[in-house]
């Protein structure tokens, strides 16, 4: 997904209409916003959120989809 000015703000993979695979989003200034992985529409593994200046704000381990 691109912003109105042409900046990449979201990159996600989908399968069967659900998020599946890597997920990344960016703030308008180009700094990372979110980063993680989805499996069948659910977050799995380590998911990270960042502040607008790119510093890690929060991290959570969602485990595997089989749990």
* CB of 52 closer than 8 Å to CB of 64: no
Whole-number Cα distances in Å, 53 to 1, 17, 26, 60, 64:
21, 32, 11, 20, 30
- Two tokens at 19? 């998020």
* CB of 38 closer than 8 Å to CB of 16: no
Residues 6 or more apart from 40 whose CB is under 8 A from it?
15, 18, 20, 65
**Structure confidence at residue 3 (pLDDT):** 82
Per-residue pLDDT of the chain (67 residues; tens, 9 = 90+): 888 888 889 999 999 999 999 999 999 899 999 999 999 999 999 999 999 999 999 999 999 866 5
Q: Give this prediction's pTM.
A: 0.84
**Structure confidence at residue 8 (pLDDT):** 86
**Structure confidence at residue 67 (pLDDT):** 55
**Structure confidence at residue 16 (pLDDT):** 92
């Amino acid at each position: 997904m691109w912003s109105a000015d042409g900046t990449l703000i979201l990159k996600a993979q989908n399968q069967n209409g659900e998020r599946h695979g890597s997920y990344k989003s960016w703030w308008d200034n180009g700094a990372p916003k979110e980063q993680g992985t989805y499996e069948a529409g659910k977050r799995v593994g380590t998911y990270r959120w960042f502040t607008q200046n790119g510093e890690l704000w929060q991290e959570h381990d969602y485990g595997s989809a089989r749990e």
